[in-house]
Structure 1
Amino acid sequence: MALMKISVLSMYWNEPQGGGINAYVTGLVTMLRNRHPESSVDVLYVQGDGDPAGRVRPGVLGEILGTALHLHRLSPDMIHVHDSIGLLLGAALYRSVLRRGTVVYTFLTETKRPVHIKDRFLRRFGTCLYSWGIGRCACVTFVSQDLQTKIDAVYAIPIAQPTAITYPGVEARPVAPEKILEFQERFGIADGDIVLLSQGVTANRFKAKGTEELIAAVALLRGEYPGIKLVLTRDGRFRSDLERYARAIGVADAVVFTGDVDDPFVPLARADLYCHITLADGLPIALLEAMAMAKPIIASRTGGIPEAIADGEDGLLVEPRAEAIAAAIRRVLSDPTLAEALGRHARETSLARFGWADRSDLVAGIYTSLNGR
């Protein structure tokens, strides 16, 4: 990558509440800094801490003006915005007024689009603002092909610029045995319990709805597997809904809500099976983390998930219905050879396709091709 000043913009930075967005941006920035020390990579963020470049005031107006002022101070060559209309509009304003910096925008999720606004006038106004911001970009990227298709077909945001698919990356981290033991003791998990894990699913309504079906699947399996436990991480706004649902169907004692976790690889190290059931998703980093840890995976056949998981090879893909989920879980738990093969192949795929070194090199190549435009 040619020598340049890069500003990365994100709602989250070093913030566990940021889920996959935080993980994506943190992984990308860390690898860019490691592999391209000749270039400077600053981070502007709304929630979190740890980067001296600057925190942007929350709220759409604060994000727009704060972003523009920070960019004026930093004067970057490349401005990379991650899935925030406020930060996008701030970068677009800076670009339009001063004619400096090249803007790249990355779509990470399917949520918070203007199409979800109920009022027709506000929905149209929001779409116009989004389109104006996108129009100031030199390139638009997506974390999955499925997400690009949905942004074009469902959300009706016109994109005339060059596009690219920038899958997330992942790097597995070793977990000390004492960390696993601490996790078990903290959340009442016994050594002999069968642990199903689903990470980051309480903050997004699509994931929460899918997780209801996963909880219902646990209810179907308890007779066969009395020691089964479903562990759900993150303290998102749908946590209370899922807790109520687990109580309503009589499995509250089999569902463990951990809240936010500092290291997602600790619960992964304890998990016997990773489940990611959602009605829509870009390409969840939590899923890639499970692949990197060689965990057998059951996931819904939705969003960008089939772009990472080959059904029957890297994991089992199912429709997001309790009966189908329960059947897949039963199949894996009853066949240790299958479980081992799925986990091993998932890790091989992770190493071959989703290493952060290769993923960041792709992004760096985009920066180089656009620099000065």
Structure 2
Amino acid sequence: QRDYDLLHTHKAYPHFYGSLAAYRSRIPVTVQSRHGRRFGETLSERMQFSIASRFSDRVVPVSDDTGLRCKKIGWLDDSKVTRIWNGIDVDRFVFTGPADKLTAITVSRLSPEKDLGTMLHAVKQVLQQIPQFRLLIVGDGPERERLEQIAAELHLTTHVEFLGERNDIPQLLSQAGFYVSSSLTEGISLTLLEAMSVGLPVVATQVGGNPEIVQQPETGALVPSANPALLASALVQMCQNQSQWTEIGRRARQ
């Protein structure tokens, strides 16, 4: 009914139905963005993605990792896929560098794919070597009650603070010594970029686009996902390398 020049879709169902509707409506250009690896997990989803991609002029993943998955699931040629990394407004995040305290921070939706239970069990192990260590958890979500229960059962209530939803993220980041992420899947994590923008070293899981952001050991450390022991080891090592935080943070900002 309207003379549109371009349709830009996000996620599976808008991509499938939108691309078919655009084809029937003769919209000249159809672009579809993919933000992570969590698509194409069933045969139906893979078929929908493959069909819809045939009617799209371009598929735009936010990371090389997601791009490879798009090509594999959709049987797409390189010419159909153009990676554009996520970005942030760096000017919103003043470089402050790491705070001079053994405090890590994570900013996350409290949902299963963020695997914060693994992070809490890792903190329990960290405290055996570094009893003054603290963790700030910023965000909310369906897993908050369960995570608070885990923290209580592990006797972490004096070391782990749940801050809930906040709108002062840059200020909170500047209160931590480094950033930590335990995600099971990622595209390009905006919160990781934000943490690096204020000059924080990073400990993150080696999933999705994280290795495209974090260069170890120059800007942080990468560990396998869902492994509390290895995450704890990386956290301990980061704490022990506190004298290097400022330089690591400068490289992260760059």
TM range (shorter): 0.7 to 0.9
* 2:136 aligned with 1:206: no
* 2:32 aligned with 1:105: yes
Residue-by-residue CA offset, 1:54-79 (whole Å, 9 max, x unaligned): xxxxxxxxxxxxxxxxxx44x33222
CA contact (8 A) 1:333 1:339 kept: no
CA contact (8 A) 1:277 1:300 kept: yes
Q: Which amino acid aligns with 1:206?
A: E
Larger RCO: 1 or 2 (CA < 8 Å, sep 6+): 2
Question: Counterparts of 2:177 and 2:231 in 1: how far apart (Å)?
Answer: 15
The 1:285–1:174 alpha-carbon spacing in structure 2 relative to 1, beyond 3 Å, is closer
Question: Counterparts of 1:334 and 1:301 in 2: how far apart (Å)?
Answer: 21
* 2:41 aligned with 1:158: no
Question: Counterparts of 2:154 and 2:163 in 1: how far apart (Å)?
Answer: 20
Specify which of 220, 237, 240 is matched with residue 331 of structure 1: 237
Indicate the residue corresponding to 2:57 in structure 1. Answer: 138
Q: How does 1:350-365 map to 2 (within 5 A)?
A: none
Q: How does 1:55-134 map to 2 (within 5 A)?
A: 72-73=1-2, 75-82=3-10, 84-111=11-38, 113-115=39-41, 123-134=42-53
| RMSD, matched Cα | 2.5
Indicate the residue corresponding to 1:195 in structure 2. Answer: 103
Indicate the residue corresponding to 2:87 in structure 1. Answer: 169
Q: Which amino acid aligns with 2:190?
A: I
Q: Percent identity?
A: 23
Residue 152 (structure 1) shift:
4.1
CA contact (8 A) 2:101 2:177 kept: no
* 2:127 aligned with 1:222: yes
Residue 114 (structure 1) shift:
4.6
Q: Which amino acid aligns with 2:107?
A: Q
* 2:218 aligned with 1:299: no
Residue-by-residue CA offset, 1:152-210 (whole Å, 9 max, x unaligned): 44xx33334611111111223257x9xxxxxxxxxxxxx9963211111423x3322xx
Which has the larger displacement, 290-299 or 311-320? 311-320
The 1:163–1:126 alpha-carbon spacing in structure 2 relative to 1, beyond 3 Å, is closer
Gaps of 5+ in 1: 1-71, 116-122, 178-190, 349-373
Question: Counterparts of 1:98 and 1:259 in 2: how far apart (Å)?
Answer: 44
Residue-by-residue CA offset, 1:9-41 (whole Å, 9 max, x unaligned): xxxxxxxxxxxxxxxxxxxxxxxxxxxxxxxxx
Q: Which amino acid aligns with 1:165?
A: R
